[in-house]
Amino acid sequence: MRKIIFVTGNPHKVREASDILSHVGITVEQNNCGYPELQEDELEPIARFGARWAADKLNREVMVDDSGLFIEALRGFPGPYSAYVFDTLGNARILKLMEGETNRRAIFRCVIGYCRPGGEPYLFSGEVTGEIADEMRGSGGFGYDPIFEVGGATFGEMEEEEKNRLSHRYAALSEFARWLKEKY
């Protein structure tokens, strides 16, 4: 089996990627070396830079994931700063920011960056549209899952398999898997 290094500190992301990519003969191995994150308003330049940097540093083919929650009423906040905002504020304070808002529309976006050493990065993206719930619901998933609602249920209330079929990361990883299957 072919092996791709997933540069991330998040084991939940690695499990999702392993489940999806194993169907096309790819083994995913986690490396937590990190990479310098650009301060950008969009996910694509961050994933592009991170994939190239990590591939050259590790001298291996790698993938990175840059994801964000874009809340319409907050003009796209937290967007590419989602991990930092979650670690700093958490779901309770995001819900506090949303008090009194009638527009609860939000989009979860994911960009997978893939690169080989010395090569140009390729990007694969996915998104899912939903709403910010009025309260935290469910104990499944991670991050913003208990407040991101799709079809009446939060990602935190869904079984992992159901969430993964709907998720932004699943869409991006599926696109990446199709490309890998055709290319290699």
**Catalytic residue status for 66:** yes
Asked whether the beta carbons of 73 and 103 are under 8 A apart, the reply is: yes
Q: Measured between alpha carbons, how far is residue 53 from residues 89, 119, 161 in Å?
A: 29, 10, 32
Catalytic one of 41, 66, 87, 145: 66
State how far the Cα of 60 lies from the Cα of 113, in Å rounded to an integer: 14
Segment holding 63, helix H or strand E: strand 62-71
The gap between the terminal CA atoms of the chain, to the nearest Å, is 12
- Catalytically active residues are 66
